[in-house]
C-alpha cells in the first residue's frame, strides 16, 4: 500500500492507495459551494470585464466601497435590493447575473443542465423564434460570404 495526500475542505489527510482500494472506492466528496462566494465572483468578473473600478461601481450603485468589496469577496451576503442596485450600476440584468451564478453552482455540483427551451415556451413562441433566428442566420451567412 502507498499513502497519498488528499485534501478535503482544506484539510489534508493521508489515504491508502493500492489495488484493494480501487475495489472499495468511496463516492467522491464534493466541495461545499457557498452562494455568496459565487455571487461575488460573478459580480467581480463582470466589473473587471467592463474595466471599471470598485469606486465607480459603488458610486453608481450607491453602496459603500468597503461593502461592495466585501460582497465581491464573498464575505457579506447581499440582499436582493442591493444585488439589483449593483447589477443596475453594472448595466447587467439581475437575471443574467443569477443565471451565471446558477451555471457555476451546477458545474461545481457536477450537475448537467441542458440548455434547452421549455416545451410550453417553444409551443407558444416557437414559430416566431425560429423565423427570426432563420432570418438572422441567413443575414449572417450573407455577410460572411461577401
pLDDT tens track for 34-89:
899 999 999 999 999 999 999 999 999 999 999 999 999 999 999 999 999 999 99
Q: Which residue has the cell 460570404?
A: 145
Residue 112 has pLDDT above 90, yes or no: no
Rounded average pLDDT over 88-112: 90
Confidence of residue 20 (pLDDT cuts 50, 70, 90): low
Name the β-bridge partners of 2: 17
Taking the C-alpha atoms of residue 117 and residue 122, their distance in angstroms, rounded to an integer, is 6
Confidence of residue 106 (pLDDT cuts 50, 70, 90): confident
Q: Which residue has the cell 448595466?
A: 91
Q: What is the model's pLDDT at position 40?
A: 95
What values do phi and psi take at 50, rounded to 5? -80, -10
User: What residue ranges define each of the domains in the chain, with the CATH number in brackets?
Assistant: 33-107 (1.10.260.40)
Taking the C-alpha atoms of residue 67 and residue 72, their distance in angstroms, rounded to an integer, is 9
Provide the grid cell at 14. 493521508
Amino acid at each position: 500500500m502507498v499513502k497519498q495526500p488528499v485534501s478535503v475542505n482544506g484539510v489534508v489527510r493521508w489515504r491508502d492507495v493500492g489495488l484493494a482500494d480501487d475495489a472499495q472506492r468511496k463516492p467522491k466528496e464534493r466541495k461545499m459551494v457557498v452562494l455568496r462566494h459565487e455571487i461575488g465572483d460573478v459580480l467581480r468578473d463582470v466589473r473587471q470585464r467592463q474595466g471599471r473600478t470598485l469606486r465607480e461601481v459603488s458610486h453608481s450603485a450607491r453602496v459603500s466601497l468597503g461593502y461592495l468589496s466585501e460582497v465581491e469577496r464573498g464575505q457579506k451576503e447581499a440582499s436582493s435590493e442591493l444585488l439589483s442596485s449593483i447589477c443596475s450600476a453594472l448595466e447587467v440584468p439581475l437575471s443574467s447575473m443569477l443565471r451565471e451564478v446558477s451555471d457555476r453552482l451546477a458545474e461545481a455540483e457536477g450537475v448537467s443542465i441542458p440548455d434547452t427551451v421549455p416545451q410550453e415556451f417553444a409551443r407558444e413562441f416557437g414559430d416566431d423564434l425560429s423565423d427570426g433566428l432563420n432570418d438572422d442566420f441567413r443575414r449572417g451567412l450573407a455577410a460572411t460570404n461577401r
